[in-house]
A and B are shown apart, each in its own frame.
Chain A
Amino acid sequence: MNDTAFVLTLAASVAAAVPIALAALGELLSEKAGVLNLGVEGMMLVGAVTAFQIGDATGSLWLALFAGALGGTLFASIHAFLSVTLRANQIVSGLALTIFGTGLSTFIGKSIEGLPLATDFKPTAWGPLADIPLLGPLLFNQDPMFYATVVFALIIAFYLNRTRAGLALRAVGESPGTADTMGVAVGAVRYVHVMLGGTFAGMGGAYLVLGQVPAWSQDGTTAGIGWIALALVVFASWKPLRVLLGAFLFGFARRANFWLQGEGVEIPAEFLAMLPYALTVLVLVVWGTRDLRRRIGAPAALGVPYIRDER
């Protein structure tokens, strides 16, 4: 076994996990509030293209990241409006968001298609820690966004389980009627978390151009990561730390090719490109099986609009 190739692959998987984890954490927040958002791919595209444009214009990495996050947030507010205020079918609205996002990002990104970006996130080595075999390159030689993502996952786990607001959030996703009678502002909670979902997806998209391949390409940048993130939330049974771990697995799946080639194993690129959509189909199967959905811990009111006056 080629050790260095394997370690390099692992280290790259960790970085590849970052955008998946960010988008999935965002989707988790949205789904915990009972709102399914199939627009993750669209929000990531919008985040990526805005981040590129701002990064290109200002040369500031952090401003670009911020712009990506903001773009995702605003874009998600469309879904919030449609599904919370207008009580539209969430599946339809989310898919529309992805289609719209694809179109919008193509439009915004017309002038930059294929161009490189000068600013990007760079890994920083933690002095001697980075030299520890295996763990060093994996954990102590990554870029700042990796550490931020780990912290986000921890914060979200804490938020959900230990805080008053987290309790209200979970209640809104489980039983909005109950939350409403207990004085939780159901609509506001849903809006905030759907938009937060957009913030994270936007950040994930921004990271794709700022941290992985510093270039914008309409069909190459996200390449189905948004769908993987959606699937990941389900496989992680709506638990933030599991999302993090799962993201590493998916990250590895995306980078394994490099190492496998060295080992003489070829996986057709088409197969890898298909993977996100195959996973999405699997998720829809779970989604369609109510019993299974309950058992793996889906919020009970996921996908259901809340109308107070109705029974």
Chain B
Amino acid sequence: MTTPAIAAVAATKRFPGVLANDAVDFTVFAGEVHTILGENGAGKSTLAAMLCGLYQPDEGHVERNGEPTLLRSPRDGLAQGIGMVHQHFRLVDRFTVAENVILGDPDQPRLIDQSVVETRVAEIGERFGLPIDPRARIADLTVGQRQRVEIVKMLYRDAEVLLLDEPTAVLTPKEVEALFITVNAMTAAGKAIVFISHKLGEVMSISDRVTVMRAGRVTGEVATADTDQRHLAELMVGRPVESETRRATAKSGQADVLLECRGLTLSIDGQNAVDDVDITLRRGEILGIAGVAGNGQRPLARLLAGIDGCDAGSVAVNGSSVTNHGPLAARNAGLAFVPEDRLGTGLVPGLSLTDNMLLTRPRKFLVDRKGARREVGQAITDYEIKTPGTEAHARLLSGGNSQKVLLARELASLGTEDGPQVIIVSSPTRGLDIGAAEFVRGLLHEARERGAAVLIISEDLDEVRSLADRVAVLYRGQIALQGRTDDLTIEQIGLAMAGVSADDDVGASPAEVAG
């Protein structure tokens, strides 16, 4: 094991206005998991993209088994046994699993033989713990299953080097466990794994070595055996980090109700995506809605924000009914919303950061561009947003950085006299580095102190537990469990997320908590 399976040698990559990777050296050996750790925009995805052939280094080069190699495209990468699972999945939604797996495979016969493909997919699934139905259509799969398809795809092409870009960001704890079993099976089979994650616990448990990046440069490399979470966090942020943020428990009691919905129901394709949901959210509290992806979080959030109309039930913001009045009415009643897909519903990719900031500012005849620019400038410093400037297009930002912009826009005046009083946030810290996550948690807590009410919708249990005063679990569109965060164990919540009813064990009765 003297030559690395893959290496970047003094690799530099520039984008207009950004030095994304600055003379980066990085090696991975067969049979090991090497994690890249770093803040948002540090250049992790860019490094991985160079290793798989998606981007080409401007300077420096990539080596495979010690030999310099030129990867002009992912096709070249795959031909050399290098495969990447992207932060945003790359699957054709209309295709079946099998079709996605063999797409672009030069070793397939010209006439496709479905049965051969299906057998091999099953074999790979068996061997690496990735059970998947080859005939299922991608559009019908859960996020966790889609990720399995991504990995199967690469293994089918005999990838020896696998690059996993934030694979756990979208998974439930159970799915993360399953993924790690797969990763271990892959390293046991002599594959080299590059892993990217912001979650230090995971990093410690799965990887052999960790490389830390800051602002495009490698700032350290450690073996996990010689380090701990605290040390990693410091390397990453460049300063000591508060290890455990603790939510100050909200004052219970009879503060005014800021968001209330009763019997909210929406059916999509003949099924109740949201099924008779009651929520009461009071001033000064944070409610977290947990659940496995696809159990109604998204439609529920859109209903509450007024984007979609409901089939039955009512929504009231600040005491005034906004049921089926549209998103502007909800906003005017004092509700802010941070949607799940940041680029799309949240930000306009083709507009500058300043213009994106203006989108939800008071609508006067003339826009206040100067004010917005000042606000963006402030956010860039406060949130440490990596961007060439206030006029850069939103789509050029890295995953975490675009999220920071969106949060900055919606959180700015939250809970102040004339700002919104209620905010609905989907996965507020997903994809954020620990520094930024800590900052956002601080903001949400601060907004609560100012008297705002916060509704968090997330698939990440840790996220919900670290932020929320109360937790509600959505399962198949219904609230399966509700209670104070302190009264519920991880197991209880996990079981409810999986649809196992455990009414008897719950510390607080739903009725009591709802009131």
| Smallest Cβ-Cβ distance to B94: which chain A residue | A174
Whether B91 lies near A309 (C-beta < 8 A) is: no
| Smallest Cβ-Cβ distance to A158: which chain B residue | B111
Whether B92 lies near A178 (C-beta < 8 A) is: yes
Question: Is B450 engaged at the interface, CB distance under 8 Å to the other chain?
Answer: no
Q: Mark B62-83, 1 if CB is under 8 A from A, else 0.
A: 0000000000011100110000
Whether A164 lies near B84 (C-beta < 8 A) is: no
Within the complex, the shortest CB–CB distance from A189 to chain B, in Å, comes to 10
| Smallest Cβ-Cβ distance to B399: which chain A residue | A311
Question: Is A163 engaged at the interface, CB distance under 8 Å to the other chain?
Answer: yes
Given contacts A175-B93, A183-B73, A300-B93, whether A168 and B395 have CB atoms under 8 Å apart is: no
Whether B93 lies near A167 (C-beta < 8 A) is: no
Whether B92 lies near A174 (C-beta < 8 A) is: yes
Residues of A close to B396: CB separation below 8 A: 311
Whether A164 lies near B75 (C-beta < 8 A) is: no
Given contacts A167-B102, A174-B95, A175-B93, whether A182 and B112 have CB atoms under 8 Å apart is: no
Question: Is B370 engaged at the interface, CB distance under 8 Å to the other chain?
Answer: no
| Smallest Cβ-Cβ distance to A175: which chain B residue | B92
Question: Is B476 engaged at the interface, CB distance under 8 Å to the other chain?
Answer: no
Whether A178 lies near B103 (C-beta < 8 A) is: yes
Within the complex, the shortest CB–CB distance from A62 to chain B, in Å, comes to 28
Whether B111 lies near A182 (C-beta < 8 A) is: no
Within the complex, the shortest CB–CB distance from A32 to chain B, in Å, comes to 12
Residues of B close to A164: CB separation below 8 A: 102, 105, 108-112
Question: Is B251 engaged at the interface, CB distance under 8 Å to the other chain?
Answer: no
Across the interface, B74 reaches (CB within 8 A) one of A163, A165, A181, namely A181
| Smallest Cβ-Cβ distance to A177: which chain B residue | B90
Residues of B close to A175: CB separation below 8 A: 90-93
CA A164 to CA B84, docked complex, whole Å:
22
Question: Is B106 engaged at the interface, CB distance under 8 Å to the other chain?
Answer: yes
Across the interface, A181 reaches (CB within 8 A) one of B90, B93, B111, B395, namely B90
CA A38 to CA B386, docked complex, whole Å:
42
Residues of A close to B153: CB separation below 8 A: 182
Across the interface, A178 reaches (CB within 8 A) one of B91, B105, B349, namely B91
Tell me what chain A mostly uses at the interface: helix, strand, loop, or mixed.
helix
Given contacts A168-B103, A168-B104, whether A178 and B111 have CB atoms under 8 Å apart is: no
Across the interface, B112 reaches (CB within 8 A) one of A167, A174, A183, A311, namely A167
Across the interface, A163 reaches (CB within 8 A) one of B104, B105, B111, namely B111
Across the interface, A182 reaches (CB within 8 A) one of B15, B78, B94, B109, namely B78
Given contacts A171-B103, A174-B95, whether A182 and B55 have CB atoms under 8 Å apart is: no
Given contacts A168-B104, A174-B92, whether A182 and B74 have CB atoms under 8 Å apart is: yes
Given contacts A168-B104, A182-B78, A182-B153, whether A300 and B73 have CB atoms under 8 Å apart is: no
CA A144 to CA B61, docked complex, whole Å:
57
Question: Is A185 engaged at the interface, CB distance under 8 Å to the other chain?
Answer: yes
Whether A183 lies near B79 (C-beta < 8 A) is: yes
CA A164 to CA B102, docked complex, whole Å:
8
Q: Mark B105-122, 1 if CB is under 8 A from A, else 0.
A: 110111110000000000
Question: Is A310 engaged at the interface, CB distance under 8 Å to the other chain?
Answer: yes
Within the complex, the shortest CB–CB distance from B194 to chain A, in Å, comes to 16
Residues of B close to A308: CB separation below 8 A: 54
CA A164 to CA B99, docked complex, whole Å:
9
Question: Is B86 engaged at the interface, CB distance under 8 Å to the other chain?
Answer: yes
CA A302 to CA B55, docked complex, whole Å:
25
| A163, A164, A170, A184, most chain B CB atoms within 10 A | A164
CA A183 to CA B396, docked complex, whole Å:
24
Given contacts A182-B153, A300-B94, whether A311 and B395 have CB atoms under 8 Å apart is: yes
Residues of B close to A174: CB separation below 8 A: 92-95
Within the complex, the shortest CB–CB distance from B160 to chain A, in Å, comes to 16
Interface residues on A, range: 20 to 34
- Chain A contacts with B in 152-196, Cβ cutoff 8 A: 162-165, 167-168, 170-171, 174-175, 177-185
Whether A180 lies near B73 (C-beta < 8 A) is: yes
CA A309 to CA B514, docked complex, whole Å:
48
Q: How many residues of B contact A (CB 8 A)?
A: 34
CA A167 to CA B95, docked complex, whole Å:
9
| Smallest Cβ-Cβ distance to B79: which chain A residue | A183
Within the complex, the shortest CB–CB distance from B44 to chain A, in Å, comes to 15
Whether A184 lies near B55 (C-beta < 8 A) is: no
Across the interface, A167 reaches (CB within 8 A) one of B52, B84, B99, namely B99
Whether A310 lies near B395 (C-beta < 8 A) is: yes
CA A175 to CA B138, docked complex, whole Å:
13
Within the complex, the shortest CB–CB distance from A113 to chain B, in Å, comes to 46
| Smallest Cβ-Cβ distance to B76: which chain A residue | A183
Whether B95 lies near A180 (C-beta < 8 A) is: no
Whether A163 lies near B90 (C-beta < 8 A) is: no
Whether B106 lies near A183 (C-beta < 8 A) is: yes
Q: Mark B40-71, 1 if CB is under 8 A from A, else 0.
A: 00000000000010110000000000000000
Across the interface, B86 reaches (CB within 8 A) one of A162, A168, A181, A309, namely A181
Given contacts A164-B112, A168-B104, whether A183 and B93 have CB atoms under 8 Å apart is: no
Residues of A close to B54: CB separation below 8 A: 180-181, 308
| Smallest Cβ-Cβ distance to B343: which chain A residue | A311
Given contacts A182-B74, A182-B78, whether A171 and B110 have CB atoms under 8 Å apart is: no
Across the interface, A171 reaches (CB within 8 A) one of B75, B86, B95, B112, namely B95
| B109, B110, B395, B396, most chain A CB atoms within 10 A | B110
Whether B104 lies near A184 (C-beta < 8 A) is: yes
Within the complex, the shortest CB–CB distance from B203 to chain A, in Å, comes to 25
Within the complex, the shortest CB–CB distance from B235 to chain A, in Å, comes to 28
Residues of B close to A182: CB separation below 8 A: 74-75, 78, 90, 103-105, 153
Residues of A close to B343: CB separation below 8 A: 311
Whether B112 lies near A162 (C-beta < 8 A) is: yes
Q: Mark A40-81, 1 if CB is under 8 A from B, else 0.
A: 000000000000000000000000000000000000000000
Residues of B close to A177: CB separation below 8 A: 90
CA A39 to CA B74, docked complex, whole Å:
33
| Smallest Cβ-Cβ distance to A174: which chain B residue | B92
Across the interface, B104 reaches (CB within 8 A) one of A162, A179, A300, namely A179
Residues of A close to B108: CB separation below 8 A: 164
| A162, A165, A175, most chain B CB atoms within 10 A | A175
| Smallest Cβ-Cβ distance to B393: which chain A residue | A310
CA A294 to CA B328, docked complex, whole Å:
27
Q: Mark B289-329, 1 if CB is under 8 A from A, else 0.
A: 00000000000000000000000000000000000000000
CA A179 to CA B352, docked complex, whole Å:
29
Between A and B, 14 residue pairs with Cβ closer than 8 Å are A168-B103, A174-B93, A175-B92, A178-B100, A181-B52, A181-B74, A181-B84, A181-B90, A182-B74, A182-B90, A183-B105, A183-B106, A184-B103, A185-B73
Q: Can you list the 9 inter-chain pairs with the closest CB atoms, starting with the nearest? A: A183-B75, A182-B104, A183-B104, A178-B90, A184-B104, A181-B74, A182-B103, A174-B92, A181-B90
Give chain A's interface residues, CB within 8 Å of chain B. Answer: 162-165, 167-168, 170-171, 174-175, 177-185, 300, 308-311
Contacts A181-B54, A182-B103, A182-B104 supplied; 11 other A-B pairs, CB < 8 Å: A162-B112, A163-B111, A167-B102, A177-B90, A178-B92, A182-B74, A183-B74, A183-B75, A184-B103, A300-B94, A309-B15
